[in-house]
Chains A and B, each alone.
Chain A
Amino acid sequence: MSTTVLARFGNELYSGKRSYDFVGRRKLWFIVAGAAVLIAIIVPLVRGGFNLSIDFRGGSQFTISQAKSTDTVVGQNAVHSIVPGSTPRVANVAGNTIQVQTDQLTDTQTLQVKDKLAAAYGVNSNEVASTFVGPTWGADVTNQALIGFVVFVGLAAVLMALYFRTWKMSLSALTGMIVTIFVTEGVYAISDFEISPSAIIGFLTILSYSLYDTVVVFDKIRENTADISTSTRRTFGEEVNLAVNQTLVRSINTMMVAVLPVAAILFIGAGLLGAGTLRDLSLALFVGILAGTAATLFIAAPMYAWLREGEPALVKQAEKVAARRSEATV
């Protein structure tokens, strides 16, 4: 094989021989994205919030080393027998260590839970360490991160509007980013993965990755549509679609290169180690990179075409294109 599949694929996409209709079928994409966002909003509401880590909530933490069993149900039952109706989170941490986190308990409850857990896991109660921890990620950290997010989105919108000379690209790019964030958040809500500070950092990475990816594709769109007013070959929407197709190989390559190391961390590292910083962070990145790439292709670009198509100058241009085409067929 002297031509790789993707290279030929790239040639065909670039030459226009092969084309995927990203722009034309936008209704479908928008509906899919809308449904995904809706699910991402409803699921946490129904579940009563996210699975926030102890870093956000604080609480009591019991650590049982050298446990005889790694069954998490045993631990849950043990806590339930002391504090009925509580929602303990029991996790098996690397090897034979069991970690049990609960809401804040009273001192008596703490002692009782400690004994129960020791009995349940067949260890002495001095091998059950308990700590009373407050959130390390307090409201002040969240607030500052949110302020940072808002300032960034505002400035990024202005930056893109200035660079591309149209606010419509800013709006489309931000919409794509918001869809990406919601989809990523939704995956956390559905999979019940814990949202830890690492996951938040993952979200922030995705934020910048998503916009970054969109800017690269939009730059090609800008180039292709620069002299749209004098061209009668293609309508604006077709021109946008061509740009997306021409950068498709780049989108796929970039996504692959970005996602491969993340997938390695997610599946290899976290698979061997279980929950932890690596898994929390890499899940957000894994989902976010896939969703971010897709959102650029299926949401941001079609949305931009849709926002611009109604402009009088482009409507006229579309008429000219149609006229030229009917002329050609006659």
Chain B
Amino acid sequence: MARSRTKRPGLRTLVWLVVLFVALVAALSGGVLVAQASWAPKLALDLEGGTQMILAPKVTGGGAVTPDQLNQAVEIIRQRVDGSGVSEAEISTQSSRNVVVSLPGVPSAETRQLIQASADMNFRPVLAAGDPAAVAKEKLVPDDQLPKPSAAPTNASDTNWVTADVYKQFEALDCTQPQPETTQRSDPKKPLVTCQPAANGTPAIKYILGPVEIPGTDISGSTYQLVQGQQGAVTNQWAVNIQFNGDGTKVFKDVTQRLNGFYVAAGGERGNDARAQFAIVLDDKVLSAPRALAVITDGRPQITGSFTQTSARTLSDQLRFGALPISFDIQSEEQISATLGTQQLQMGLLAGLIGLLLVVVYSLFQYRALGFVTIASLVVAGLMTYLSITILGWTQNYRLSLAGVAGLIVAIGQTADSFIVYFERIRDELREGRGLVSAVENGWRRAKRTVLASKAVNLLAAVVLYFVAVGNVRGFAFTLGLTAIADLIVVFMFTHPTLQIIARTKFFGEGHRFSGLDPVQLGAVPLYRGAGRLREASEAARGSLKPKNAAAAGEAGRRMTIAERRAAEAEQQTDLATATKSAQRAERSQEEN
């Protein structure tokens, strides 16, 4: 027990807790001053209202949207919205035709674009590539030298696709300026002249593309990762992986076989044949046009290049979300009021407050002065949760719904349980006859395990639900995890250090009858000696038990309950009988009081 003999155990931990608080407050006030943070948590759709957008889905090539496609559209929009934070958006269908997206607050331009972004993705082979700017008049290829197809094209990479018209279009296109958004989509069976917009320092590129070879629907998934070197070591180069479905895999194998042929014929790495490239096209714009360095037979190509982590993630997201041939038109966008209104929130908070008061009364009744430690711990936990929620609202767009508020109120119970487990352990140690200081240390050692194991269950639930579930459930998981972590911090950094300190005060250390830790009330003292001596004896008290018990039943005696021990001692230690009797009398008189 070297630790408990240091001058002021627990004090240092408390100082660290204060440092943590100062850091949180500093982070938040920094956010308020510099960025768009606020001192109050952000509220979710049901409490704050927000923006409601009605989106009409459109299938490429016309035709009605099937219910299946509509559901898929909802799923895609949900993924897009969830991808931008824990905002608890509501997404539903209306009149089996439209998708209704309700977002809390005013959605940022980014979020709006993300939702609107239509998703018409496909893969086309590159026929020609060129500088982004439009070709100057005097440099235009004369009419008589324009390409003239000699025969009908045999495959998508056939240059016979490039007619005079297509080439003129290619010359005229200016990719240095942002292209206007259009709702018209190109014909997948015809060649396409388009741009790869400038991004991340890569200049824009102008392309003539062959007809669509693989539609976006053939993509079954996409991930991004750091490239693994030959020895399996991770390099610092980012890559995007694509996974095709069965059809996609077959076609992609043929395509890469053809394109890789161009690559090899042009001289491999040093070659410069644009036809070795295939373009990933989203909404008629090229996202990326990698060269086919090999024939891909398993439908799992990996794209490498000058990716940053962000650009790799963006491309990977676009590939995943782009696998549905549906685009969205915004039909209406309007403000909606909170569905629950302030009354529900006020009632919820009022009920929570009443509940909290009941908890306070119950704790004081149960634990006397120790109940104040519970209450102080709950206050610390509450402050910490409030600060975290507010900071996360600023950085992660975390929003509190009424369900979230109720979840926080419920968390009171689980947070308080950590203290209850701990206090009951301390009481158990007192009942075994320890002094308070060592009871606190021993009780903590045993309670710590229990608290950690049980909180691990809560954290597990939170982490799994956060990563797997969507929508409301995700927000709930976030709250659950947050309160579990706040709870652990409070138990380790506040409750235990506080008890270490108060165990040394006269009021608690001597077991005042209102301290909640009175050995007499806990039935510990009458067994052995006078109350006064036991309290001073602390460690020795337990040691002094051993000879008596050894006389009783050897090893088994150690596992006796106090009642059994009492009986055994009454039998064998006749010299102690008077003391026991008087002690029992004392206990009886206690009970009668």
Q: If A223-B446, A260-B359 touch, does A163 touch B468 (CB 8 Å cutoff)?
A: no
Q: How far is the CB of A23 from chain B (nearest CB, A)?
A: 15
Q: Does B340 contact A (CB under 8 A)?
A: yes
Residue pair B366, A278 in contact (C-beta under 8 Å) = no
Q: Does A209 contact B (CB under 8 A)?
A: yes
- Pick from A43-51, A185-193, A195-203 the stretch touching chain B: A195-203
Residue pair B352, A147 in contact (C-beta under 8 Å) = no
Q: Does B402 contact A (CB under 8 A)?
A: yes
Q: How far is the CB of A261 from chain B (nearest CB, A)?
A: 3
Q: Does B302 contact A (CB under 8 A)?
A: no
The 0/1 profile, CB within 8 Å of B marked 1, for residues 262-306 of chain A is: 111100110011001110011001000100000000000000000
Contact for A261 among B409, B449, B523, CB less than 8 A:
B409
Residues of A contacting B354 with CB < 8 Å? 264, 268
Complex-state Cα separation, A247 to B420, whole angstroms = 10
Q: If A140-B75, A144-B473, A258-B410 touch, does A134 touch B94 (CB 8 Å cutoff)?
A: yes
Q: How far is the CB of B468 from chain A (nearest CB, A)?
A: 4
Complex-state Cα separation, A132 to B54, whole angstroms = 13
Give chain B interface residues in 338-360, CB to chain A under 8 Å.
340, 343-344, 347-348, 350-352, 354-356, 358-359
Residue pair B561, A264 in contact (C-beta under 8 Å) = no
Q: Does B417 contact A (CB under 8 A)?
A: yes
Residue pair B410, A219 in contact (C-beta under 8 Å) = no
Q: Does A24 contact B (CB under 8 A)?
A: no
Complex-state Cα separation, A198 to B340, whole angstroms = 13
Give chain B interface residues in 406-462, CB to chain A under 8 Å.
406-407, 409-410, 412-414, 416-417, 420-421, 424, 427-428, 431, 446, 449-450, 453-458, 460-462
Residues of A contacting B402 with CB < 8 Å? 198, 277-278
Q: Does B480 contact A (CB under 8 A)?
A: yes
Q: How far is the CB of A90 from chain B (nearest CB, A)?
A: 19
Summarize B's interface: helix, strand, loop or mixed.
helix
Residue pair A7, B417 in contact (C-beta under 8 Å) = no
- In the complex formed, the residue of A with least CB distance to B402 is A277
Complex-state Cα separation, A262 to B351, whole angstroms = 8
Complex-state Cα separation, A94 to B449, whole angstroms = 47
Residues of A contacting B461 with CB < 8 Å? 152, 156, 204, 207-208, 211
Residue pair B460, A216 in contact (C-beta under 8 Å) = no
Complex-state Cα separation, A297 to B461, whole angstroms = 22
The interface on chain A, measured as residues whose beta carbon lies within 8 A of the other chain's beta carbons, has a size of 89
Q: Does B90 contact A (CB under 8 A)?
A: yes
Residue pair B355, A15 in contact (C-beta under 8 Å) = no
Contact for A151 among B464, B590, B591, CB less than 8 A:
B464
Residues of B contacting A145 with CB < 8 Å? 465, 468-470, 473
Q: Does B71 contact A (CB under 8 A)?
A: yes
Residue in A10, A231, A250, A257 whose Cβ sees the most chain B Cβ within 10 Å: A257
Residue pair B523, A15 in contact (C-beta under 8 Å) = yes
Complex-state Cα separation, A269 to B343, whole angstroms = 10
Residues of A contacting B427 with CB < 8 Å? 10, 14
Complex-state Cα separation, A215 to B462, whole angstroms = 17
- In the complex formed, the residue of B with least CB distance to A264 is B355
Residue pair A216, B431 in contact (C-beta under 8 Å) = no
The 0/1 profile, CB within 8 Å of B marked 1, for residues 1-28 of chain A is: 1111011101110111100000000000
Q: If A145-B473, A269-B348 touch, does A3 touch B521 (CB 8 Å cutoff)?
A: yes
Residue pair B403, A219 in contact (C-beta under 8 Å) = no
Contact for B454 among A10, A132, A216, CB less than 8 A:
A216
Residue pair B350, A156 in contact (C-beta under 8 Å) = no
Q: If A132-B95, A223-B446 touch, does A277 touch B561 (CB 8 Å cutoff)?
A: no
Residue pair A281, B406 in contact (C-beta under 8 Å) = yes
Contact for B94 among A133, A137, A205, CB less than 8 A:
A133
Q: Does A168 contact B (CB under 8 A)?
A: no
Q: How far is the CB of B123 from chain A (nearest CB, A)?
A: 27
Q: Does A161 contact B (CB under 8 A)?
A: no
Residue pair A11, B348 in contact (C-beta under 8 Å) = no
Residue pair A6, B559 in contact (C-beta under 8 Å) = no
Residues of A contacting B591 with CB < 8 Å? 3, 8
Residue pair B420, A215 in contact (C-beta under 8 Å) = no
Give chain B interface residues in 344-389, CB to chain A under 8 Å.
344, 347-348, 350-352, 354-356, 358-359, 362-363, 365-366
Residues of B contacting A2 with CB < 8 Å? 513, 521, 590, 593
Residue pair A278, B93 in contact (C-beta under 8 Å) = no
Q: If A11-B523, A230-B555 touch, does A144 touch B424 (CB 8 Å cutoff)?
A: no
Contact for B90 among A136, A247, A277, CB less than 8 A:
A136
Q: Does B564 contact A (CB under 8 A)?
A: yes
Complex-state Cα separation, A155 to B562, whole angstroms = 39
Residue pair A132, B523 in contact (C-beta under 8 Å) = no
Complex-state Cα separation, A159 to B90, whole angstroms = 34
Q: How far is the CB of A52 from chain B (nearest CB, A)?
A: 15
Q: Does B576 contact A (CB under 8 A)?
A: no
The 0/1 profile, CB within 8 Å of B marked 1, for residues 124-144 of chain A is: 000000001111111111001
Complex-state Cα separation, A211 to B460, whole angstroms = 11
Residue pair B93, A134 in contact (C-beta under 8 Å) = yes
The 0/1 profile, CB within 8 Å of A marked 1, for residues 457-483 of chain B is: 110111011011111110011001000
Give chain B interface residues in 12-63, CB to chain A under 8 Å.
46
Residues of A contacting B358 with CB < 8 Å? 260-261, 264
Residue pair B350, A141 in contact (C-beta under 8 Å) = no
Q: Does A254 contact B (CB under 8 A)?
A: yes
The 0/1 profile, CB within 8 Å of B marked 1, for residues 33-70 of chain A is: 00000000000000000000000001000000000000
Residue pair A262, B469 in contact (C-beta under 8 Å) = no
Complex-state Cα separation, A201 to B95, whole angstroms = 27
Q: If A136-B91, A159-B456 touch, does A15 touch B562 (CB 8 Å cutoff)?
A: yes
Residues of A contacting B566 with CB < 8 Å? 15
- In the complex formed, the residue of B with least CB distance to A2 is B593
The 0/1 profile, CB within 8 Å of B marked 1, for residues 55-96 of chain A is: 000100000000000000000000000000000000000100
Residues of A contacting B420 with CB < 8 Å? 250, 253-254, 257
Complex-state Cα separation, A257 to B591, whole angstroms = 26
Residue in B363, B412, B420, B555 whose Cβ sees the most chain A Cβ within 10 Å: B420
Q: Does A212 contact B (CB under 8 A)?
A: yes
Residues of B contacting A262 with CB < 8 Å? 355, 409-410, 413
Residue pair A285, B454 in contact (C-beta under 8 Å) = no
Contact for A155 among B91, B96, B424, B464, CB less than 8 A:
B464
Q: Does A249 contact B (CB under 8 A)?
A: yes
Residues of B contacting A205 with CB < 8 Å? 407, 410, 476, 480
Binding site for A on B (CB under 8 A): 46, 71, 74-75, 78, 90-96, 100, 340, 343-344, 347-348, 350-352, 354-356, 358-359, 362-363, 365-366, 401-403, 406-407, 409-410, 412-414, 416-417, 420-421, 424, 427-428, 431, 446, 449-450, 453-458, 460-462, 464-465, 467-473, 476-477, 480, 513, 521-523, 553, 555-556, 559-564, 566, 590-591, 593
17 A-B interface contacts by CB (under 8 A) = A8-B523, A133-B92, A135-B93, A136-B92, A138-B71, A152-B461, A156-B457, A204-B473, A205-B410, A212-B417, A213-B454, A215-B453, A230-B555, A254-B417, A265-B352, A273-B347, A276-B340
Binding site for B on A (CB under 8 A): 1-4, 6-8, 10-12, 14-17, 58, 94, 132-141, 144-145, 147-148, 151-152, 155-156, 159-160, 163, 197-198, 200-201, 204-205, 207-209, 211-213, 215-216, 219-220, 223, 227, 230-234, 242, 246-247, 249-250, 253-254, 256-265, 268-269, 272-273, 276-278, 281-282, 285, 289, 324
Given A152-B461, A264-B355: 19 more A-B contacts, CB < 8 Å: A2-B513, A4-B366, A136-B90, A136-B91, A138-B74, A145-B468, A152-B460, A212-B414, A212-B458, A216-B454, A227-B559, A233-B564, A246-B428, A257-B417, A264-B351, A268-B347, A269-B347, A282-B406, A285-B406
